[in-house]
Structure 1
Amino acid sequence: MRTENNSQGIILIMIAMSLFAMQDSLIKFIFEQSTLFEIFFGRYLVAALLLFAYIKFTKQVVSLKTYYPYLTFIRVLFHFTAFSTFFVSITYMPLATANALFFSCPFFVSIFAKFFLKEFIGIRRWSAIAFGFTGVLIVLNPNFSNFECKNLLPVFSAFFYAASMTITKYTSDKDDVNTQLFYFYVIALILCIIIYFFMGEGQFNNNDFDPSTQFIFREWFSNFDYTWKFILFFGVAASIAFVCVFKAYIVASPSVVSLFEYSLIIMSMIPGYLLFNEIPSIRTLVGVVCIISAGVYIYFRERVRDQYVASKTPARR
């Protein structure tokens, strides 16, 4: 029986969250000189090369046979959509706020697990989910007379990411992690290439667009001399972070290390303040506490029932 090393798992997850915080802050820093899907393409390409080199070096086997081709495509599409919406959201929203809203992901995971994986979710976890979404409302602070729908993008990101992770859990009975990784990067890179041929020359961009919209439609490689070093870092950071998260969930209890993923919210406050002078409001902090408390309670209820739904699902990948 495997001995769990929670201390090592916590250190690994903290390293991964630090890298994600650095990545998010640098994307926010350069978004007016780059384009979203150019970053995606470079990040996926570098990460794929490094991860497959790691698999080759460690002499792991990659099976090219997937038992769920359609679900695999949908899973990657959902993941792609999730982080497209998230990275757009951080261009106009404080980093800590966007990450806090993204951490509504465990609530969606639990809901999907109930209806699609037939997992049992008791009244206590339903109450925790409701409490967590109350925290989301507090962070959003909706004023329905002039509420901007774009503020929901991190929540949409959490929704699509939870859907992709639910599919991952369903397909993992036959497709191992290396097979899922292989198809993730292949399909994601193909999606990027399709987007490049569709709008990579900036044909849909307009100078009247706000900077966040231009981030989506700007011409690819128009400022590559400036952005390439950042894109290289994103790919390397994503590779290291993924290995750290994956290793953490192997060597330690998922219900323990998953709690420390919330450190990303705190870590994102540091570059948010230093680079962008972002100071969370008291209302935002109260909402963050509600979201974290609900997520922690869900994890502990899963541990009590020995039924892991959300806590075996990394909140960032």
Structure 2
Amino acid sequence: MPRYDQTQRNRPMAGIATLVFGLFMFSFQDVIIKAFSDQYSVLQIVFIRCSVALVPIVIAILWISGWRGFVAYEPRLLLLRGLFGFLSYLGYYLAIAALPLAEVVTIVFSAPIFITVLSVVLLKEKVGARRWSAILVGFLGVVVVVGPSGQIADLAVILALLTALTYALMSIVTRYVGASDAPWTMSLYSVVVFILGSVVASLLVAVFEPAFNTEDPSLQFLLRPWVVPTTTDLLLMIFIGLNWSVGSYCLAKAYSVAPVSVVAPFEYTYIIWAVLFGYLIWSEVPAVTTFVGLGLLIGSSLYILRRELRTRDQNTESELAPRPAASTRQADDPPVKAAGG
């Protein structure tokens, strides 16, 4: 049973506005980190960002839940969720060091496709022909984005795809813990894993870095040694730590005050900021294929979301109604085993 109060989801406009604002805040973080990708180590940036973010998260937990907010119902799963999150964000930052921001964001938008596939493999959920068709359309969108330029085997593209995969794994774990642990508790565990992960990875890099001599921007961003940042850069790193806390809170709040079916489609507004900042700062003009692939991804993801929400509604109704003599459920209407988060 949840130990925190879940606000009734009856304020759609507030949820949409909060989500869009949170994504706008995240876009500043991505711009700053991409700008730092040729100066600092990504692990150093993650360490500073998360160390700063830890402070408001701890304050929020104490304010909302007191000391009991530090205790998780599923600590091992929260640590696993944090590990997947660390790998996801690390892959994303390394990818944007080498590719246009809009292209990376588009590839990462394939995460809902991975979530559905992993739900079949790990949660044993059933997916019918229509949703499998949507999955194929989504993967076709990814191929359209990266295929024509011959980048299908490029390291940055692989990192972007791994970002989507590990984000999907994180979401699968969230399905188990989202109904029992509060969002701030999940954020706390994730930030701690990010900090420890950046330290451990930095030690490994210090040992093996001399063996690498590469011109690849992604690998350089990973293998670059830590340096003392300038005052301005340090302030920017502190800013993205606070920014991340605000953005995370906005996303959690958005889904607590409005239905998923209303809020989730507006996550795609992030591509607007990615295209805008990419063009204004780095003169990145997305190819036509990027927009075509994005359209395929958005269409397939929204269809999958619609089918899953319809399934949840049907399952709720079937639990309240008397059992019929024979089931009329279609193959494309599987039960959702755990709460999404």
The farther-off stretch of 108-117 and 227-236 is 108-117
CA distance in 2, matches of 1:7, 1:201: 51
Alignment partner of 1:191 out of 170, 193, 197: 197
Q: Which residue does the alignment assign to 1:49? A: 55
Q: Which shifted more, 53-62 or 18-27?
A: 53-62
**1:76 aligns to 2:79 (yes or no):** no
Contact 2:53 2:242 survives alignment (8 Å): yes
Shift of 1:35: 1.1
**CA displacement at 1:174 relative to structure 2:** 4.1
Paired residue for 1:272, among 278, 286, 289? 278
Q: Deviations over 1:48-67 (max 9, x none)?
A: 11122122233455444445
How has the CA–CA distance of structure 1 residues 76 and 220 changed in structure 2, closer, same or farther, with 3 Å as cutoff?
same
Deviations 1:259-287 (A, max 9, x none): 10001111110000000111111111111
The aligned counterpart of 2:244 is: 238
CA contact (8 A) 2:151 2:157 kept: no
**Which of 97, 100, 123 is matched with 1:94 structurally?**
100
Q: CA deviation at 1:145?
A: 9.8
Indicate yes or no: 2:29 matched with 1:29. no
- Letter aligned with residue 27 of structure 1: I
Match of 2:256 in 1: 250
SS state at 2:38 partner = helix
1:40 corresponds to which letter in structure 2? V
The letter of the residue matching 1:100 is T
TM-score, structure 2 normalization: 0.83
- Among residues 98, 113, 116, which one is paired with 2:119 in the alignment? 113
- 1:236-272 Cα distance to aligned partner (Å, 9 max, x none): 1111111110110000011211110001111110000
Other-structure match for 2:163: 157
Match of 1:172 among 172, 178, 185: 178
Asked if the contact 1:33–1:227 (Cα under 8 Å) also holds between the matched residues in 2, the reply is no
- Secondary structure (helix, strand or coil) at the match of 2:22 reads helix
The match for 1:182 among 184, 188, 202 is: 188
Of all paired residues, the percent bearing the same amino acid is 30
| Structure 1: segments with no counterpart, 5+ residues | none
- The alpha carbon displacement at 1:194 in A equals 2.0
Q: Deviations over 1:12-70 (max 9, x none)?
A: 01001111222111211121111101111111111111122122233455444445444
- Give 1:233 shift: 1.4
Partner letter of residue 234 of structure 2?
W
The residue that corresponds to 1:4 in the other structure is 10
1:300 aligns with 2:298: no
In 2, the alpha carbon distance for the partners of 1:270 and 1:51 equals 30
Find 2:46's aligned residue among 31, 40, 48: 40
Q: Would you say the 8 A contact 1:202–1:219 is kept in 2?
A: no
Distance 1:120 1:274 in 2: 44
Equivalent residue letter for 1:37:
L
Compare 14-23 and 171-180 and name the one that shifted more. 171-180
Partner residue of 2:291 out of 285, 290, 296: 285
Superimposed CA distance per residue, residues 111-138 of structure 1 (whole angstroms, 9 cap, x where no aligned partner): 2222322333222222111111110110
Residues 287 and 297 (structure 1 numbering): CA distance in 2 closer, same or farther, change over 3 Å? same
5-14 or 67-76, which moves further after superposition? 67-76
User: What number of residue pairs does the alignment pair up?
Assistant: 312
For residues 123 and 28 of structure 1, what CA distance do their matches in structure 2 show?
A: 40
Q: Where do residues 59-74 of structure 1 align in structure 2 (5 Å cutoff)?
A: 59-60=65-66, 62-74=68-80
Q: Cα offset for 1:313?
A: 5.7
| Residue type of the alignment partner of 1:136 | V
Q: Would the aligned equivalents of 1:96 and 1:272 in 2 still touch at CA under 8 Å?
A: yes
Alignment partners' CA distance in 2, 1:67 and 1:255: 28
Unpaired segments of 5 or more residues in structure 2?
1-6, 314-334
Seen in structure 2, the aligned counterparts of structure 1 residues 152 and 313 have a Cα distance that, compared at 3 Å, is farther
1:214–1:164 distance in 2 versus 1, CA, 3 Å: same
Residues 83-125 of structure 1: per-residue CA shift (max 9 Å, x gap): 1111111111111110011011111111222232233322222
SS at match of 1:121: coil
Q: Evaluate the alpha carbon distance shift between residue 196 and residue 187 of structure 1 in structure 2; reply closer, same or farther with a 3 A threshold.
A: same
Counterpart code for 1:123: A
Equivalent residue letter for 1:109: I
d(CA) in 1 for partners of 2:71, 2:27: 35
